[in-house]
């Protein structure tokens, strides 16, 4: 029972880590970034390369996401910023193309093989929790996710930067009329989203393996989380990840064949009665 | 001669394809309070937005403090010339507390600025109600409180010029009077330069010393001082076409712009009728 | 800035579109190879292609003419596979098609056999549907699903420890997984092997977190797991099961992942039981020679799929030689009953159903002894099965 609960939490944590960046980018900059999955994969690949060259796993967990974030910033400046003021369809098509391009680049640089990021030996083995053995690494993933989310909340709630980000999600024009360079905000937010995706990638690496399509495969689940939780709502994303992660895990335990059906059914029902998701779009909180 | 802090010369602005402002030229001296009067849709708000760089300038020049800011991005104009734009829709940030709504406007004063530096406490002194509600979500405040909040937010940036768009919009007369009183004090005590756009021209009269009468497409028909206005109330009245305007307008809007002479003298501090005592 | 980027992208596009034209002497024998080089199955596709390239190199010439291998990527899609096969046959004028990594592409191309009208010998498609499918369609190299299932059941029967255990069955949720699980359950029950969940569990194809199944297996208190999972997915399941400490109590049998996938997963796959035709553990001169040649050519751990494709391609080359030309019917005739002594012993194409009969090994993933390939994991042979044991009967 404890094991099943932890399993639910773990899947929720992974979904949350990856979808949260997507959510922040949409919430603040109103960009639906279809390349987000690819940036998650990019973080995983950076992490994989670092760890296989002997970099400490924890150092890679810090550095690889930053590198992914840097790539995100460059992409934002070069590709998204010039078409920001056009219709959303442009960014959709462009970021989709970008994801295809990045996924293709993985093949060139890292080949099409399925790889694993080597787990640090300190996180191998299992921990006895009230008579149930649970893998240390999974517990680490849970703890790390909680830290990341708390850190993010602190950034958003306690700092001037967070204040600006929250304000920018509602009335961006007024934020620039207060002397803030919105271009920098958009760039920073995109970078932050990519850092979060990168953290997800490195953390998932030892568990879910690393391969070129890993991001694009994950993107669909992220959008389910986003749509259920309400586009651009941080609390909604947390709630929705828990819902989707739990429904999927329990589904596999008790209903096996219908687990995925349940998730999509849940999405359909929620959209039918709450078309904007559980916590509706609007201000980013 | 007083120095011109803000100067617009032959300004042309578009919204998409529509040529909203066609050759506007106005100026505002340092420390002066100026109002722009005109009917709905003549381009008053667009003028303020153009100064703040929110609506792009197509032709002409905008000079603030001697700097040619016409094609600067908004954030640069605000940072380097300390223009504070207070829009008619107020734009209180929902999801931010009152205190956060004030803090987000915080900016160091301009180099060589004489005025004292604005702090949260100073803003609270002017608007005690904001201190009372500092933890409340800004968007849950009443209209008047929101207006105070956005003026406070503008002050936190230590502005040199304040662009005030329709401060009385949607407010009860008693609240309008209070807001107008505070703004008047601010200008007097802090040497703030003010450009105000108002439907309620009693407020304009009270706040500003000089008035531009704006007609369609941003054309300035004439400019007049308070003394000239008091002497020729009809000019303003005719300009705003109050009588025939009411045929098109909703009743509530009409009541906000009573002719100065009709205003009850006691309840209309600062109206031309009250001034000419 | 944008202009610069556009130029860069265009240059890249042009570069990738430029056909590779190796300088080849006049009038080569052209063989078309369709493999999956994109997506999850890409590693298998690469191993297949490499095996065929190595076979062409070793064969040298057919009837005095050089061999030209033209490779196309089907991206794992049936539609793409057919398009690429058409391009190879009608534009490049290949005399035979080979390779093919995944079943859906194999079936799609086989379905067009009449129109394509060249012999098609797959080196990796495992579906039993290929038995006697079409006079021009053959399988040689990889065993069929039914042969694999038989080998796996035989593997259990031959080991008293495995025989004692009760088994939990887990399958990928699509046609192949279903038939694989059902076949195993049917055969195992006949042989007296205990199956814990005769209705078996289906795992969604895009499943990333296997913990729900691991938890179910732990609480079912079984001694073994039979996993019909695709080769690229299996290590992920095994790795996660190992995290939970499952490998210490439970034996896992399944289709063995590729060597590259085992290397990537590392230590945690130790103990995984599977079957294959070839592993570099096979200690015969031909096997050793193949392993060394593969390592020399590609600098990768010599893979099962490579040896299998190598074998299949060699059989095809020999048949063309025997046919004395490129007439499709004559090549097909020569393929029927063809035998070849390859890296894993003698394989034979049954004239009855055009599919291979071969010896099969039961293997266990173990920590590798010191080896020239730098491999950490070896597929250790624990039992050898004869072609007669594996079947099917002719």
Tokens 């695709």 correspond to what residue?
C230
List chains adjacent to chain C, taking adjacency as at least 3 C-beta pairs closer than 8 Å.
Answer: A
Eight-class DSSP state of A118: P
If asked whether residues C237 and C374 sit together in one domain, one would say yes
The pLDDT tens digits for C286-338 are 999 999 999 999 999 999 999 999 999 999 999 999 999 889 999 999 999 99
CA B168 from chain center: how many Å? 10
Residues of B whose CB is below 8 A from A187: none
Q: Does A182 touch chain B (CB under 8 A)?
A: yes
Q: Which of C209, C244, C261 sits opposite A114 (nearest CB)?
A: C261
Tens of pLDDT, residue by residue over B147-174, are 999 999 999 988 889 999 988 888 888 8
Q: Which residues of A touch C213 (CB under 8 A)?
A: 252
- Please check the confidence at residue B250 and state whether its pLDDT lies above 50: no
Q: Which two tokens stand for residue B166?
A: 């329709």
Q: Per-residue pLDDT for B186 more than 90?
A: no
Q: Is C10 an 8 Å CB contact of chain A?
A: no
Residues C124 and C156 in one domain: no
B40 has pLDDT over 90: no
Distance CA C243, CA C230 (A): 20
* A-B contacts (CB, under 8 Å): 59
Residues C330 and C312 grouped into a single domain: yes
Above pLDDT 90, what percent of chain A?
Answer: 51
Same domain, C86 and C73: yes
pLDDT of residue A108: 86
Cβ–Cβ gap C209/A112 under 8 Å: no
| Residue ranges of domains in chain A, CATH in brackets | 2-273 (1.10.3470)
CA-nearest residue to A7 within chain C is C211
**Residue range(s) defining the domain that contains residue C162:** 146-276+360-390
Instruction: In whole angstroms, give the CA distance from residue A209 to residue A195.
Output: 19
Task: Of A185, A167, A162, give the one whose Cα is nearest residue B91.
Answer: A167
The verdict on C64 and C125 lying in the same domain is yes
pLDDT of residue C319: 95
Q: Which two tokens stand for residue A45?
A: 């690949």
C216 & C365 share domain: yes
Q: How confident is the model at residue B263 (pLDDT cuts 50, 70, 90)?
A: very low
Q: Which of A190, A193, A210 is nearest to A201 (CA)?
A: A210
Contact between B29 and B4 (Cβ < 8 Å): yes
Q: Which residues pair with B138 in a beta bridge?
A: none
pLDDT band at A182 (very low <50, low <70, confident <90, very high): very high
- What is the rounded distance in angstroms from the CA atom of residue C109 to the CA atom of residue C101? 12
8 A C-beta contact, residue C277 and residue C142: yes
* Contacting residues of A for C203, CB less than 8 Å apart: 252
Average pLDDT, chain B: 81
Instruction: Report strand pairing: C29-35 vs C360-367.
Output: unpaired
Chain A residues closer than 8 Å to B96 by CB? 163, 166-167
pLDDT value of position B189:
84
DSSP helix/strand/coil, A17: helix
C-chain CB neighbours of A212 within 8 Å are 39
Query: Can you give the pLDDT at residue B258?
Result: 42
Q: What percent of chain B has pLDDT over 70?
A: 84
Determine, for residues A170 and B93 on separate chains, whether the beta-carbon distance falls below 8 Å: yes
**Cα separation values, C366 from B243, C241, C363, Å:** 96, 16, 9
Provide, rounded to the nearest whole percent, the portion of chain B with pLDDT above 90: 22
Over residues B228-247, the mean pLDDT reads 69
Direct distance between the N- and C-terminal alpha carbons of chain A, in angstroms, rounded to an integer: 33
What digits encode the pLDDT tens for the residues C366-391?
A: 999 999 999 999 999 999 999 999 98
Whether C266 and A7 lie within 8 Å, measured CB to CB: no
Q: Give the dihedral sign, CA B151/B155/B156/B157.
A: positive
The answer on C41 and C134 residing in a single domain is: yes
**Residue A256: pLDDT band with limits 50, 70, 90:** low
Decide: helix, strand or coil at residue B17: coil
- Alpha carbon distances (Å) from C316 to B48, B118, C348: 81, 87, 12
Q: Which residues contact C87 (CB under 8 A, 6 or more apart)?
A: C72
Residues C254 and C219 grouped into a single domain: yes
Residue in A164, A177, A284 closest to B74 by CB? A177
Number of residues that this document lists for chain B: 277
> In angstroms, rounded to a whole number, what is the distance separating the alpha carbons of residues B73 and B55?
10
CA distance B52 to A161: 23
For residue A281, what pLDDT is reported?
53
Query: Using an 8 Å Cβ cutoff, are A23 and A241 in contact?
Result: no
pLDDT score for C295 = 95
Share of chain C above pLDDT 90, in %: 65
Residue A256: DSSP 8-state = G
Contact C59/C115 with Cβ under 8 angstroms? Answer: no
Number of domains into which chain C is organized: 2
Instruction: Report pLDDT digits (tens) over A10-66.
Output: 999 999 999 999 999 998 888 999 999 999 999 999 999 999 999 999 999 999 999
3-state secondary structure of B13: strand
Pairing of strands C273-276, C65-73: unpaired
Phi, psi of B110 (to 5 degrees): -70, 150
Q: How confident is the model at residue B179 (pLDDT cuts 50, 70, 90)?
A: confident
**CA-based radius of gyration for chain C:** 21
Tokens standing for C195? 């199956």
CA distance A249 to chain C (A): 6
What are A106-146's pLDDT values in tens digits?
A: 988 988 778 888 888 888 888 888 878 889 999 999 999 99
Q: Which residue ranges make up each domain of chain B?
A: 4-258
Mutate to test the interface with A, among C13, C15, C40, C215 (most CBs of A within 10 A): C215
Lowest mean pLDDT among B10-19, B260-269, C319-328, C335-344: B260-269
Tell me the torsion sign for CA atoms B137, B139, B144, B150. Answer: positive
Mean pLDDT of A244-263: 80
Q: Which residues of C touch A11 (CB under 8 A)?
A: 208-209, 211
pLDDT at A125: 84
* pLDDT at res. C341: 93
What's the rounded mean pLDDT across residues C166-177? Answer: 88
CA distance C162 to B100: 68
Count CB-CB contacts under 10 A for residue B106. Answer: 17
C256 pLDDT more than 80: no
Question: Of the CATH numbers 3.40.1360.10, 3.20.10.10, 3.40.50.300, 3.10.129.10, which one belongs to the domain with range B4-258?
Answer: 3.40.50.300
Same domain, C137 and C162: no
Query: Which region among A225-234, A271-280, B121-130 has the lowest average model confidence (pLDDT)?
Result: A271-280
Do C43 and C66 share a domain, yes or no?
Answer: yes
The answer to whether the beta carbons of residues C287 and C343 sit under 8 Å apart is yes
Chain B contact present for A187, CB below 8 A: no
How near does any CA of chain A get to the CA of C43, in Å? 6
Determine the residue among A165, A176, A179 to mutate to test chain B binding: the one whose Cβ has the most chain B Cβ atoms within 10 Å.
A179
Based on the fold, state whether residues C265 and C193 are members of the same structural domain.
yes
Smallest CA–CA separation between A84 and chain B, in Å? 16
Q: How many Å apart are CA C45 and CA C43, to the nearest integer?
A: 5
A186 at B interface, C-beta within 8 A? no
| Interface touch C244/A260, C-beta < 8 Å | no
Does C244 contact A133 at a Cβ distance shorter than 8 Å?
Answer: yes
Sign of the CA dihedral with A269 first, then A272, A277, and A280 last: negative
DSSP secondary structure code for residue A79 in this structure:
I
Q: Is B135 left (phi over 0), alpha (psi -120 to 50) or beta?
A: alpha
Question: Which residues of chain B approach chain A closer than 8 Å at the C-beta?
Answer: 52, 54, 73-76, 78-79, 85, 87, 91, 93-96, 100, 103-107, 153, 157
Same domain, C223 and C151: yes
CB A139 within 8 Å of CB A127: yes
CA atoms within 13 A on the CB side of A45: 25
The token pair that represents C247 in the structure block: 């490998």
Nearest CA to A226 among A283, A190, A184, A279? A279
Option in A78, A218, A252 nearest C1 (CB) = A78
Query: With bands split at pLDDT 50, 70 and 90, how would you rate the model's confidence at B252?
Result: very low
Phi, psi of C29 (to 5 degrees): -85, 120
Question: For chain C, what is the mean pLDDT?
Answer: 88
Asked if C236 reaches chain A (Cβ–Cβ under 8 Å), the answer is yes
* pLDDT, tens digit (0-9, with 9 covering 90-100), for A220-243: 888 889 888 888 788 888 999 999
Q: B143 pLDDT band (50/70/90 cuts)?
A: confident
Asked, for residue C184, whether it belongs to a domain, the answer is yes
Q: Is A282 on the interface with B (CB under 8 A)?
A: yes
Confidence of residue B111 (pLDDT cuts 50, 70, 90): confident
pLDDT band at B273 (very low <50, low <70, confident <90, very high): very low
Please enumerate in sequence order all residues whose Cβ is within 8 A of that of A1, keeping only pairs 6 or more positions apart, or say none. none
In a domain, C130, yes or no: yes
Tell me the CATH number at C180: 3.40.50.2300
Confidence of residue A262 (pLDDT cuts 50, 70, 90): confident
DSSP string covering B24-60: EEEEEETT-EEEEE--TTSSHHHHHHHHHTSS-EEEE
CB A138 to CB C261 under 8 A? no
Q: What is the DSSP code string of B177-235? A: HHHHHHHHHHHHHH--EEEEE-SSHHHHHHH-SEEEEEEGGGEEEEEEEHHHHHH-HHH
* CA C90, chain centre distance (Å): 27
Return all residues near C161 (Cβ < 8 A) that are at least 6 apart. none
Q: In this structure, how many other beta carbons lie within 10 angstroms of the beta carbon of residue B112?
A: 5
Per-residue three-class SS string for chain C: CHHHHHHHHHHHHHHHHCCCCCCCCCCCEEEEEEECCCCCCHHHHHHHHHHHHHHHHHHCEECCEEEEEEEEECCCCHHHHHHHHHHHHHHCCCCEEEECCCHHHHHHHHHCHHHHCCCEEECCCCCHHHCCCCCCEEECCCCCHHHHHHHHHHHHHCCHHHHHCEEEEEEECCHHHHHHHHHHHHHHHHCCCEECCCCCEEECCCCCCCHHHHHHHHHHCCCEEEEECCCCCHHHHHHHHHHCCHHHCCEEEECCCCHHHHHHHHHHHCCCEEEECCCCCCCCHHHHHHHHHHHHHHCCCCCHHHHHHHHHHHHHHHHHHHHCCCCHHHHHHHHCCCEEEECCEEEEECCCCCEEECCEEEEEEEECCCCCCCCCEEEEEEEEECHHHHCCCC
Q: Does residue C18 carry a pLDDT above 70?
A: no
């Amino acid at each position: 029972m404890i094991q099943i609960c932890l399993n639910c939490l773990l899947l929720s944590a992974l979904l949350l880590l990856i979808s949260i960046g997507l959510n922040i980018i949409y919430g603040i900059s109103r960009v639906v970034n279809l390349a987000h999955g690819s940036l998650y994969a990019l973080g995983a690949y950076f992490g994989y390369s670092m760890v296989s060259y002997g970099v400490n796993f924890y150092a890679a967990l810090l550095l690889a996401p930053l590198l992914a974030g840097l790539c995100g910033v460059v992409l934002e400046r070069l590709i998204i910023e010039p078409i920001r003021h056009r219709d959303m369809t442009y960014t959709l098509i462009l970021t989709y193309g970008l994801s295809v391009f990045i996924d293709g680049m993985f093949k060139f640089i890292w080949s099409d093989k399925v790889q694993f990021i080597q787990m640090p030996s300190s996180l191998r083995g299992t921990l006895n929790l009230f008579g149930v053995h649970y893998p240390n690494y999974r517990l680490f993933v849970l703890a790390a996710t909680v830290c990341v989310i708390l850190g993010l909340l602190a950034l958003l709630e306690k700092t001037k930067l967070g204040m600006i980000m929250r304000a920018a999600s509602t009335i961006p024009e007024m934020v620039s009329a207060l002397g803030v360079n919105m271009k920098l905000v958009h760039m920073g937010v995109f970078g932050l989203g990519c850092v979060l995706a990168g953290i997800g990638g490195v953390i998932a690496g030892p568990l879910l393996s690393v391969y070129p399509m890993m991001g694009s495969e994950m993107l669909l689940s992220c959008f389910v989380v986003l749509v259920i939780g309400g586009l651009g709502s941080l609390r909604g994303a947390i709630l929705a990840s828990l819902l989707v992660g739990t429904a999927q895990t329990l589904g596999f335990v008790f209903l096996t064949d219908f687990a995925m059906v349940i998730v999509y059914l849940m999405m359909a029902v929620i959209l039918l009665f709450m078309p904007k998701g559980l916590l509706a779009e609007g201000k980013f909180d | 001669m007083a120095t011109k802090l803000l100067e617009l010369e032959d300004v042309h602005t578009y919204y998409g394809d529509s040529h909203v402002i066609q050759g506007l030229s106005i100026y505002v001296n340092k420390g002066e309070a100026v109002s722009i009067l005109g009917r709905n849709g003549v381009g008053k708000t667009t003028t303020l937005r153009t100064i703040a760089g929110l609506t792009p300038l197509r032709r002409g020049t905008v000079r603030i403090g001697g700097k040619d800011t016409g094609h600067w991005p908004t954030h640069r104009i605000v940072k380097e010339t300390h223009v504070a734009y207070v829009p008619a829709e107020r734009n209180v940030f929902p999801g931010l507390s009152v205190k956060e709504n004030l803090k987000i406007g915080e900016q160091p004063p301009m180099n060589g600025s004489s005025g004292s530096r604005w702090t949260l406490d100073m803003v609270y002194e002017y608007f005690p109600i904001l201190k009372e509600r500092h933890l409340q979500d800004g968007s849950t405040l009443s209209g008047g409180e929101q207006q105070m909040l956005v003026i406070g937010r503008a002050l936190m940036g230590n502005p040199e010029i304040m662009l005030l768009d329709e401060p009385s919009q949607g407010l009860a007369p008693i609240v309008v009077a209070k807001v107008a009183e505070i703004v008047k004090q601010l200008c007097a005590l802090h040497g703030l330069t003010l450009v105000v756009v108002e439907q309620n021209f009693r407020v304009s009269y009270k706040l500003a010393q000089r008035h531009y009468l704006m007609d369609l497409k941003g054309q300035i028909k004439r400019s007049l001082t308070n003394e000239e206005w008091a002497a020729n109330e009809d000019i303003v009245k005719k300009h705003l076409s109050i009588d025939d305007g009411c045929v098109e307008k909703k009743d509530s809007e009409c009541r906000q712009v009573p002719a100065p002479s009709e205003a009850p003298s006691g309840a209309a501090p600062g109206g031309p009728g009250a001034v000419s005592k | 800035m944008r202009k610069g980027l556009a130029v860069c992208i265009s240059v890249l596009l042009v570069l990738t579109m430029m056909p590779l034209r190796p300088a080849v002497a006049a009038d080569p024998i052209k063989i078309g190879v369709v493999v999956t080089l994109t997506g999850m199955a890409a590693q298998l596709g690469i191993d297949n292609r490499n095996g065929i390239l190595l076979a062409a190199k070793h064969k040298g010439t057919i009837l005095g003419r050089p061999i030209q291998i033209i490779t196309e990527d089907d991206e794992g899609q049936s539609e793409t596979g057919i398009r690429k096969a058409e391009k190879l046959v009608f534009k490049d004028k290949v005399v035979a098609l080979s390779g093919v990594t995944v079943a859906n592409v194999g079936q799609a191309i086989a379905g067009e056999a009449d129109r394509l009208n060249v012999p098609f010998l797959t080196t990796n498609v495992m579906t039993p549907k290929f038995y006697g499918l079409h006079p021009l369609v053959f399988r040689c190299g990889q065993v069929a699903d039914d042969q694999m299932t038989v080998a796996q059941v035989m593997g259990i029967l031959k080991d008293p420890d495995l025989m004692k255990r009760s088994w939990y069955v887990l399958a990928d949720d699509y046609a192949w997984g279903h038939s694989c699980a059902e076949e195993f359950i049917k055969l195992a029950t006949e042989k007296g092997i205990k199956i814990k969940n005769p209705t078996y569990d289906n795992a969604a194809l895009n499943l990333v977190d296997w913990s729900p199944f691991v938890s179910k297996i732990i609480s079912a208190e079984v001694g073994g797991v039979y996993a019909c999972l695709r080769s690229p997915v299996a290590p992920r399941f095994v790795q996660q099961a190992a995290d939970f400490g499952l490998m210490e109590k439970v034996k896992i049998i399944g289709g063995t992942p590729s060597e590259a996938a085992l290397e990537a997963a590392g230590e945690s796959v130790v103990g995984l039981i599977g079957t294959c035709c070839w592993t570099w553990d096979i200690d015969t001169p031909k096997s050793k020679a193949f392993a060394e040649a593969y390592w020399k050519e590609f600098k990768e751990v010599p893979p099962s799929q490579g040896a299998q494709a190598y074998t299949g391609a060699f059989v095809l080359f020999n048949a063309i030689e025997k046919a004395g030309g490129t007439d499709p019917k004559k090549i097909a005739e020569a393929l029927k009953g063809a035998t070849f002594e390859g890296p894993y012993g003698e394989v034979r194409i049954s004239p009855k159903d055009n599919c291979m009969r071969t010896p099969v090994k039961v293997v266990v993933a173990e920590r590798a002894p010191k080896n020239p390939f730098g491999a950490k994991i070896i597929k250790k042979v624990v039992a050898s099965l004869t072609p007669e044991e594996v079947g099917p009967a002719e």
